[in-house]
Chains A and B, each alone.
Chain A
Amino acid sequence: MSTKRKALPKGIAAGEFDKAIKELKAILGDENVLVDEVRLAPYNKIMMPVPNDQHAPSAAITPASVEQIQGVLKVLNKYRIPVYPISTGKNLGYGSAAPVQRGQIVMDLRRMNKIIEVDPDLCTALVEPGVTYQQLYDYLQEKKLPLWFSCPAPSAIAGPLGNMVDRGVGYTPYGEHFLFSCGMEVVLANGDVLRTGMGSMPNSNTWQVFKWGYGPTLDGMFTQSNYGIVTKMGMWLMPAPPDFRPFCIQYPNETDITKIVDALRPLRIAMVIPNAVVIAHTLWEAPCTPVKRADYYTGPGAIPDAAVGKIQKDHNIGAWNVYAGLYGTKETNDANWKIIEAVAAGTGGKIITAEQSKGSQALQYRFDLMKGKPNLGEFGLYNWRGGGGSIWFAPVSQAKGSETLKQMKMAKDILAKYGFDYVGEFIVGWRDMHHVIDLLFDRSDETQTKNAYACYDELLHTFAKEGYGMYRANTAFAEKVAATYGPVKRSVEKKLKKALDPNNILAPGRCGISL
């Protein structure tokens, strides 16, 4: 007799599903195949503005080795049951641990959490999916290794492999995480284990130092995709610089953003400033200060500009707050510091140094992130509105001042139409700029949740019409975002999927890829 289950994979009968579960238990052990609803609850979607049932998992499994994953894939191919792999599952505003489609089995790789190797001479690491940034940080501290890594804002609970696979970014000079990854191990749908780059070559010791190998470079295929399960990743670590000088430059007016970007871009391209320059709006800074929204506005709709101005004044927050750092020796940083001072003076900005920042929570967490010290400071954003809803809207543009005000006005108008605040920042990567907006809503409020969906949808299509594509997207919008990149790319992606995963068992729908 089959057990009654709430969510089943599409097209799979309960009896077949139960047989598969039995076989999975034989491979993984009962305790690593979760079907009890209270055990599955942490894998439910939390921040997507869609009904819960759309992303409800049918089960979760926690394999501990590549061999177990191979065994699992054999069963799933046999029954054609889809699986949704996660590393630490903390991709919160981009979708959390929930599967992309109802009924998929979540494959939680958190038990594969070994730091396999850190080479202090070559400054490389090889890690498994379940390793968190905090774990890696503690390891480096414990071993007294003067090495830094780059991490995203929710770093203490997130992990480097998952973040890289989703092409996340961080705040040190190694902040473009995929760029600084080197070598992956990938379990393909048929159970084959591929090592990318030099890893394919028997006896090679260059897997973590030379990314390209010979022939086509395949690494990118396994990021923002569903062509394989990444089980190991090499990453480059940064030697701790002899002198690190983080700083903030505050600007008083929203319109200052144009000159900020145009003044800082040349410094970024020339690598005078070697890390991504973050330019955070007042309403990003305020919740992390922390400032309570309700102390300034409790009416309906978006917070008025006048209230935002008052927050700036009351809490010494800029309309824009630029974060960057100098990394080098005292001599090089002394020289470059003069350039920073000149730029700030020439653009009307006020510099705040690390020493002057003491006591400011908002500045401290940023300065820590710029040296790869994990923290949870940015979670203050979730108290801004309360209710725990968050979707990251993240279009990419050229790093030109002229792009900023245009994008900000487009975003502010659409957000205000649906009653949401503009909580945004621009990040000058190198020649590109990410415009990251946290669409904060109360997910306990049905109307706000529906508005959040409609708002994101309008943002997406309005920006796409202007040629601005997303660099990353919430799971609920994967299909829509993929569609903005045109039919040819999608057709190629589908052909690759058919070749590598003919039974469509690996996260179908992730990033819009499915058969």
Chain B
Amino acid sequence: MDRRNFIKSLLASGVLGSSPLAAQAASDLFAPGTAQPVLIVGQSGLPHADELVARLERVFAAAGIDYVQARASGGELTDYTHVIVLLDRVPGRRVIGVMDAAAALIFQELAAARGAACALSTHHRFAAQEVRHCCISAGLDTSIVWSDSLADHAERIGRLYAGTLAGPESAVDRSAPVVREEPDRAADATPGSLVSFLITV
């Protein structure tokens, strides 16, 4: 199975189980057994970010993925010194960021300047009833786009990141409905727009 199908299988999954496919999500850099817990950096003051971070925590706890969390405001995440201090704390660590577009760009570019690797980066666009996601994974030439209802989307995103981190011993339950790949378009420039990503610094 190629990487695209692997990502799709994660998106379609209900719970994490054991599947050798997880090895394809990322290189050893993101594999389990990495000594330090995953750091989740969430931007405070953004309700959708709060919701996604909370869901990531729940899914990670259920999957036995060790994590710690750091919160920072939008102002802090666009301040060079603050981001550098954050990055100084995480050498060798896997980091999940959940923040707005400007903060995500700065964080990822500063991390890249230190040689960071990136497994996944996802844009989330919120409309009244649903969320459109656009995920680019390392090695994919094209993005994977799908929509979820507003109520469900965080769960699936949580599983996507958990599945990528959980590695070859994890499982993917395919019983859940397959995501729609041709979503209704979320209205342009709707209030909520968010980026999440998984890197290792």
Contacts and interface: CB of A to CB of B under 8 A. Distances in A.
A485 interface: no
B189 A386 contact: yes
B47 to A, nearest CB: 13
10 contacts: A38-B30, A51-B142, A90-B113, A110-B113, A157-B109, A157-B113, A377-B78, A381-B102, A386-B125, A442-B123
A110 to B, nearest CB: 6
A390 B166 CA distance: 34
A376 B139 contact: no
Interface in B156-200: 185, 187-191, 193, 195, 200
A42 interface: yes
Nearest to A361: B75
Interface stretch (A162-170, A263-271, A294-302, A431-439): A294-302
A52 B112 contact: no
Interface residues of A, number: 55
Interface of B: 26-27, 29-30, 78-80, 100-102, 104-106, 108-113, 115-119, 121, 123, 125, 132, 134, 136, 138-143, 145, 185, 187-191, 193, 195, 200
A287 to B, nearest CB: 8
Interface class of chain B by DSSP: mixed
Contacts of B100: 383, 386
Given A41-B138, A292-B191, A380 B102 contact: yes
A374 interface: yes
Q: Which of A6, A293, A388 has the most CB of B within 10 A?
A: A388
Nearest to A88: B113
Nearest to A130: B113
Contacts of A387: 101, 123, 125, 193
A156 interface: yes
A53 interface: yes
A288 to B, nearest CB: 10
Given A157-B113, A387-B123, A419-B188, A445 B141 contact: no
A307 B110 CA distance: 35
A42 B136 CA distance: 12
A298 B193 CA distance: 13
Contact of B125 (A37, A156, A157, A444): A444
A218 interface: no
